[in-house]
Amino acid sequence: MRVVRGSFPGLNGWLGDLPDPRSQEMCLYLAAHIGWHVLATYLFRTGSRNAFDEFRNSHAAPWNLGLLCGQTAQDPRFAGHPTVTCSDNAKRHASRVDPDRVRQIPLRMIKELLKRRMFDGSRLFDHWYTVIVDGTVQEKCRQGFRGDGKSSSGQGRYRYVLQAVILGPQGNVFPFLHEFVDMHNPVTEKEDCELKAFLRLSRRLKELFPRLPICWVGDALYACEPVLRVCREYGWRYILTLKEGRQPTTWEEMLQLLPRSRANGVRTDSGPVAARTRMDCRWVEQVMLGKLETNVILAGEITPQSATLYGYITDLAHLAPQRVIAIAATGRQRHRIEDKFNAEKNHRIGLEHVFCAETKAAKNFYTMMQAAQILWALVSQGYCKRVYAWAKEATDQGLALAAWQGWQFCRWPPDLPPLGQIRFGFT
């Protein structure tokens, strides 16, 4: 609660600003109450709506949620005994709210963190914000999907989403923007795809943040001419994975130019002697990808256990040994978004779980999951590890379980002061 009051004092107002089609004179619960019901489902990693419902009214839980949403026992509608709404009510509400309006919630949270210079410690060359992009399955197959999540044959398969995250100073990532991929559009009878979603997301990002200096990090799917043209048009930079099978012409040209660029090399060692990691980088400038010029960096990572070769394309200029090392290290950060997806899928957050079959509600639930992930990053990686020694050794699931138990059995004092600036350690 201290984190919310300190970092996002306007969160309840943002939740309350969402269109509410309910008859207000008949409503027991505020819109902010319903919003916090969904956020708590993800924050405490209950895994499903039913699991949260089972304990939603236990012990201190109603009072604590009331403090968060601003609807306490003093509300005359509760008659001194607050309760928590059920998940079916939350689902009905989510099915009636425009997903574009709900997407403003995590966006406003990120804007607040940008204003507080939260990400300055992770800016590449003290200028470029590192934004990592990748797609993932939002929900796995269930009969009853409507409007999207269909193959060309019309059979229900899955819902897909493109997620962009911004890199924090401790290697943690914060959900930035996302774009839903409609696998089958029944109006146009055309298949959507991840690259088309990226172009839509890029246009929206440029409109929202016209002057934000961004460096995109992505896998080999994005190492293509349309993505490079978008980056050039909008003044962005990129570090994208290069694979021989994805761009064979560029790869072959790079191999031909490498013998002529023998001076373009640097080697670094890091870590203790027994487990030393060696990074050996070579680079070639002005290589063609389609009709555009780019630069190629090959980074060989050698450990006592393995040797791996990574290839990247980038339009960052003035390549020199230290800059190349920094660029290659930033390219390696791409795994952060995969770690995020893995945690959301396998650590009881609920990615790929079908929270509801209705399309609009499913989109809104996913958006609230991302808002909850922003809060969780601030609490688990910032506040808890700064204040509690045991939190430094605890897993995310252990912290979530402790928070869930505290939510149920410990009534929070109503006068908790807002938390000041949250600081992260730097890597």
Contacts of 320 (CB under 8 A, 6+ apart): none
Type of residue at 221: L
In percent, the amount of the chain with pLDDT more than 70 equals: 92
CATH 3.40.50.1780 fits 128-345, yes or no: no
The answer to whether 331 touches 239, Cβ cutoff 8 Å, is yes
Q: Rounded mean pLDDT of 102-127? A: 95
Residues 317-338 pLDDT 10s: 999 999 999 999 999 999 999 9
What six digits make up the tokens of 384? Answer: 């808890």
Task: Give ∠ CA 329-333-336 in degrees, rounded to 5.
Answer: 160
Would you give the end-to-end CA distance of the chain in angstroms?
Answer: 28
Residues 339-364 pLDDT 10s: 999 999 999 999 998 888 888 999 99
CA dist 110 and 116 (Å) reads 10
What is the reported pLDDT for 9?
A: 92
What six digits make up the tokens of 20? Answer: 């509410």
CA dist 108 and 335 (Å) reads 26
SS3 354: coil
What is the reported pLDDT for 165?
A: 98
Q: Is the pLDDT of residue 149 over 60?
A: no
CA dist 108 and 370 (Å) reads 12
Q: Is the pLDDT of residue 417 over 90?
A: no
Q: Of 170, 175, 165, which is closest to residue 122 (Cα–Cα)?
A: 170
DSSP string, 3-32: HHHHH-TTHHHHHHHS---S-GGG-SS-HH
What is the reported pLDDT for 272?
A: 83
**Stated length of the chain:** 427
Q: Is the pLDDT of residue 143 over 70?
A: no
Looking up tokens 């994975």 gives 241
Looking up tokens 């997301």 gives 201
DSSP string, 293-317: EEEEEEEEEE-SS-EEEEEEEE---
CA dist 277 and 304 (Å) reads 8
Beta bridge partners of 237: 215
Q: Is the pLDDT of residue 152 over 60?
A: no
The full set of domain ranges for the chain reads 2-97+374-409, 128-345
What six digits make up the tokens of 346? Answer: 């396998």
Residues 264-275 pLDDT 10s: 999 998 888 778
The answer to whether 203 touches 233, Cβ cutoff 8 Å, is no
Q: Rounded mean pLDDT of 93-99? A: 94
CA dist 308 and 302 (Å) reads 6
Angle at which helix 104-115 crosses helix 359-377, to 10 degrees, equals 20
Q: Of 424, 427, 420, 423, which is closest to residue 9 (Cα–Cα)?
A: 420
Please report, for residues 59, 179, 373, the alpha-carbon distance to residue 133 in angstroms, rounded to integers and kept in the order given.
Answer: 41, 11, 16
CA dist 41 and 49 (Å) reads 7
pTM: 0.92
The answer to whether 237 touches 314, Cβ cutoff 8 Å, is yes
What is the reported pLDDT for 425?
A: 54
If you ran DSSP here, which 8-state letter would residue 181 be given? E
Q: Of 54, 59, 86, 70, which is closest to residue 1 (Cα–Cα)?
A: 70
